[in-house]
Amino acid sequence: MTAPAARSFRIVCPPAQVPLVEDLLRAQGYGFDPEPFSPWCRRLTAEPRPLGGSLAAFFGLIYIQDRSSMLPPLALAPESGAAVLDLCASPGSKTGFLAQLVGPHGLVVGNEPNHTRLATLRQNLFTLNLVNAVACSHPGEALPLPDGSWTRIQLDPPCSGWGTVERNPSVLKLWQGDKVKPLIGIQRLLLAEAARLLAPGGRVVFSTCTTNVHENEAQVLHARDELGLEIVPLAPPPGFVFAEPELPGCEGTLRVDPERSGAQGFFIACLRKPGHGGLDGRGDAGPLADGPTLSDAERVRAAALPASAWPDTGLNPALLPDGVVAPFGDTAYFLPRPALERLPAALRWRGYPLGKWGKDGIRPSPRLRTLMPYPVGPHDLAGHDGHDGHDGQGGQGDGVPILHMDDPADISGLLTGRSIDAPRNANAALLYWRGLPLARLRVKGGRALWAER
């Protein structure tokens, strides 16, 4: 079965693991080509079953995303180690891509005002193992952040979605005439807030998935004429066809031609606050994670958990970027150092949930593949034939056995309730596919099984 032309995805893993993720997809029958605009992006050519049901998607090694939606983070182009604010973040498509672009030592703050959509954002960042992204929920037009404190802002505001009409035919009927006016008003409030938060020389990328000129070019001219922002011309990325702007003065903005690009209709503009350099995104220090408001970063650091809080997990907490692991309630969270140092106490945010916390220490999430040893040596993955037909068990990492499964069908069987042999004295095991870290399994009575919690 040939995949639809517009079906695309991002690979989400350390660069060295990209070939293994591609091999895992091919082993399940998927075909794809590299996208010309980013080394992280691929376009499907064969989809024997829905891509969302693939092992790569289940373990957060890929993220399915329309190719047009991948462009705004690339237009913002944050430097490695940069701090980025995403004003309207859910479901996390652009937030997650930004977290990849800034790297493990950068920071992305994803703000989602809608609490229901906030849960989706957090779940996606969690599944993708993006420990350098934090999430918060404040009105996007009134964030408790200092003026001029960010050099990179992503703004993908609520819009009419006319560019998604092929997938959502009802949008043209739903958003017509006066019904669009409230959206235009919200977009202008969000643009004004972005202008307030930008440091001199800082940039905001404004994007929508609509073809409505009033939500696109007209908003750019409003930002220029009323908010004092400058239009930064964007170079058209390869692999797309772009239509001319629909209003004069908007040269350098990008309007994706959906039919000729095989993608959603999208509009992208980059705006700059006049001035030079200055701040690098650092604001007043003062963290807040999930739970009661903390008055300052020192209280979080005082509550930091020691390395001994990770007893016999098989994971390597040294693989975390700079930051603090601290308990809030019965959960241990990773709080990136840049977030602790940059975000004021008035901003309520949550870090990455590493797992449950109790008197016996941290019980890591089974999805915490980012802390699994990699690479693993050949002796670890040599193994022997197991009674259940998997390729066997190899060496051990810190006393926790490493299980290698070569057949994707056997891994799928695990996810549907099957168990496999494991050492009887173990209570957990690390699961790999051809050396690719996948998950941490629960072991009970000499049988390893998948458990979501």
pLDDT digit string, tens, across residues 128-183? 999 999 999 999 999 999 999 999 999 999 998 776 545 655 555 554 566 778 89
pLDDT for residue 43 = 97
**End of a domain among 229, 256, 272?**
272
Check whether residue 60 and residue 115 sit in a common domain.
Answer: no
Check whether residue 390 and residue 265 sit in a common domain.
Answer: no
Check whether residue 311 and residue 363 sit in a common domain.
Answer: yes
User: Would you say residue 280 lies in a domain?
Assistant: no
Check whether residue 349 and residue 378 sit in a common domain.
Answer: no
Mean residue pLDDT across the chain: 88
Centroid of chain to Cα 95: 5
Check whether residue 178 and residue 319 sit in a common domain.
Answer: no
Check whether residue 172 and residue 78 sit in a common domain.
Answer: yes
User: Would you say residue 312 lies in a domain?
Assistant: yes
**End of a domain among 369, 399, 421?**
369
With bands split at pLDDT 50, 70 and 90, how would you rate the model's confidence at 397?
very low
pLDDT for residue 299 = 62
pLDDT for residue 160 = 86
Q: Each residue of 364-385: pLDDT tens digit?
A: 999 999 999 999 876 666 443 3
User: Would you say residue 428 lies in a domain?
Assistant: yes
With bands split at pLDDT 50, 70 and 90, how would you rate the model's confidence at 126?
very high
Q: What is the CATH number of the domain that holds 206?
A: 3.40.50.150
Check whether residue 345 and residue 395 sit in a common domain.
Answer: no
With bands split at pLDDT 50, 70 and 90, how would you rate the model's confidence at 3?
very low
pLDDT for residue 276 = 83
User: Would you say residue 281 lies in a domain?
Assistant: no
**End of a domain among 64, 87, 110?**
64
* Domain span at 155: 68-272
Check whether residue 248 and residue 390 sit in a common domain.
Answer: no
User: Would you say residue 287 lies in a domain?
Assistant: no
| pLDDT tops 80 at residue 79 | yes
From the list 136, 209, 250, 270, the catalytic residue is 209
User: Would you say residue 25 lies in a domain?
Assistant: yes
Check whether residue 197 and residue 308 sit in a common domain.
Answer: no
Q: What is the CATH number of the domain that holds 35?
A: 3.30.70.1170
Check whether residue 258 and residue 405 sit in a common domain.
Answer: no
User: Would you say residue 131 lies in a domain?
Assistant: yes
For the ranges 64-73, 139-148, 356-365, 386-395, the lowest mean pLDDT is seen at 386-395
Number of domains the chain contains: 4
State what percent of residues in the chain have pLDDT above 90: 77
Query: Which is higher by pLDDT, 73 or 304?
Result: 73
**Cβ contact 324:301 at 8 Å:** yes
With bands split at pLDDT 50, 70 and 90, how would you rate the model's confidence at 238?
very high
Check whether residue 146 and residue 266 sit in a common domain.
Answer: yes
Q: Each residue of 409-446: pLDDT tens digit?
A: 999 999 999 999 999 999 999 999 999 999 999 999 99
Check whether residue 72 and residue 209 sit in a common domain.
Answer: yes
With bands split at pLDDT 50, 70 and 90, how would you rate the model's confidence at 284?
very low
User: Would you say residue 283 lies in a domain?
Assistant: no
Centroid of chain to Cα 98: 7
Q: Which of 413, 356, 352 is nearest to 388 (CA)?
A: 413
Q: Which of 224, 231, 234 is nearest to 256 (CA)?
A: 234
Q: Each residue of 302-358: pLDDT tens digit?
A: 678 888 889 889 999 999 999 999 999 999 999 999 999 999 999 999 999 999 999
13 is catalytic: no
